[in-house]
């Protein structure tokens, strides 16, 4: 292990009450990374992933995984190069992806949670986006949860985000009509470039429900929900018979986690449409990752496949990038290049 290197890492200082601010985090310098035990590897990050789910982890409210403790390392997926290995599975120089890298420049991990990546298929950071969790999330939400069928009218919120870009392209390739909802005209234009049939900038329409009705006169068959909130309201007013709603994320609630989200309830609409609303988490489908990866590799081998990344530089930009993401100020998959 190089003796002169220092690890910089972000810890949680306080739980945000509404939207996180930089003061909720602190960038620490760790003078010495711990020594490797048998079967461990030391990895230097080349890219870290910034994702909306991190908001759920920094709240005392119940989440699907335990939250981050105060003074604890913030969680993030990461890709990078092995600096040192005490595992027979890996050698120094190997490129790997780790779901649990953390907001830091280096990590020591058990070898069995690392996966080698093949950078001949796609650039290394793709294993944090379309070849990683966001790609798998899009696949399972669409095919397993929403049970999408060709000809379905599929609406996607946060459509230009990491998951949304994949949902749109997967659904389009499956023969669906695909509608993007996003927060700027620039994002909508990008969505159309990658294959979305229509797009709505929800910040510029007077009435999202009316707009949606005009674009989907026969109703929404599948809604891939990355946001929650008022966008969902508009969908619920436009359900087709047997509509399926896959709840993937609720980033619109980033400023009120643990507090009630007051708005219209839609039990009657769900009943009348005999609709199905289902929350899901990609890890529930771990047994089916191989089939999903094969499907995605097939999709990206098409010359029309496109994917936008929004890359910030250096570990010091992690907290501000995360806050930007929660404010929809990113454009494409948010990554930090280390």
Binding site for a copy of itself (CB under 8 A): 56, 62-64, 225, 228-229, 232, 247-250, 253, 257, 260-268, 270-281, 284
Neighbour tally for 147: CB within 10 Å: 14
**Of 61 and 92, CB closest to a copy of itself:** 61
**Of 39 and 278, CB closest to a copy of itself:** 278
What 3-state DSSP class applies to 221? strand
Q: How far is the CB of 228 from a copy of itself (least distance, A)?
A: 4
Q: How far is the CB of 157 from a copy of itself (least distance, A)?
A: 11
Q: Is 141 left (phi over 0), alpha (psi -120 to 50) or beta?
A: alpha
Q: How far is the CB of 223 from a copy of itself (least distance, A)?
A: 11
**Of 147 and 189, CB closest to a copy of itself:** 147
Residues 191, 182: Cα–Cα separation, whole Å: 9
Residues 195, 164: Cα–Cα separation, whole Å: 12
Q: Which residues contact 272 (CB under 8 A, 6 or more apart)?
A: 239
**Of 107 and 252, CB closest to a copy of itself:** 252
Q: How far is the CB of 277 from a copy of itself (least distance, A)?
A: 4
Q: How far is the CB of 194 from a copy of itself (least distance, A)?
A: 26
**Of 205 and 253, CB closest to a copy of itself:** 253
Residues 118, 308: Cα–Cα separation, whole Å: 20
Query: Which backbone phi and psi does 180 adopt, to 5 degrees?
Result: -95, 140
**Of 5 and 280, CB closest to a copy of itself:** 280
Q: How far is the CB of 241 from a copy of itself (least distance, A)?
A: 9
Residues 185, 25: Cα–Cα separation, whole Å: 32
CA-to-CA separations, 53 to 85, 181, 301, in angstroms, rounded: 30, 19, 28
CB 125 within 8 A of CB 45: no
């Amino acid at each position: 292990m190089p003796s002169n290197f220092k690890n910089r890492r972000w810890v949680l200082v306080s739980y945000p009450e509404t939207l996180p601010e930089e003061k909720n985090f602190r960038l620490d310098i760790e003078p010495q990374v711990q020594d490797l035990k048998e079967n461990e590897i030391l990895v230097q990050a080349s890219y870290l992933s910034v994702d909306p789910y991190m908001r759920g982890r920094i709240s005392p409210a119940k989440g699907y995984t335990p939250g981050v403790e105060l003074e604890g390392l913030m969680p993030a997926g990461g890709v990078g190069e092995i600096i040192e290995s005490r595992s027979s599975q890996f050698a120094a120089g190997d490129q790997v992806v780790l779901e649990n890298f953390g907001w830091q420049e280096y990590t020591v991990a058990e070898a069995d949670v690392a996966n080698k990546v093949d950078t001949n298929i796609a650039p290394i950071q793709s294993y944090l986006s379309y070849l990683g969790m966001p790609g798998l999330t899009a696949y399972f939400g669409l095919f397993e949860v929403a049970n999408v069928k060709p000809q379905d009218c599929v609406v996607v919120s946060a459509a230009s985000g990491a998951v949304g870009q994949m949902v749109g392209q997967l659904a389009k390739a499956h023969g669906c009509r695909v509608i993007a909802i996003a927060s700027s005209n620039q994002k909508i234009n990008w969505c159309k470039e990658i294959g979305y049939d229509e797009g709505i900038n929800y910040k510029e329409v007077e009435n999202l429900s009316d707009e949606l009705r005009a674009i989907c006169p026969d109703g929404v068959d599948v809604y891939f929900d990355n946001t929650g909130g008022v966008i969902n309201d508009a969908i619920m007013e436009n359900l087709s018979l047997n509509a399926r709603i896959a709840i993937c994320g609720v980033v619109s609630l980033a400023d009120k986690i643990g507090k009630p989200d007051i708005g219209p309830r839609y039990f009657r609409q769900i009943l009348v449409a005999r609709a199905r609303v289902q929350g899901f988490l990609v890890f529930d489908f771990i047994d089916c990752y191989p089939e999903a990866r094969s499907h995605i590799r097939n999709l990206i081998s098409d010359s029309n496949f496109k994917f936008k990344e929004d890359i910030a530089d250096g570990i010091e930009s992690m907290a501000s990038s995360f806050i930007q993401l929660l404010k929809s100020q990113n454009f494409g998959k948010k990554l930090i290049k280390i």
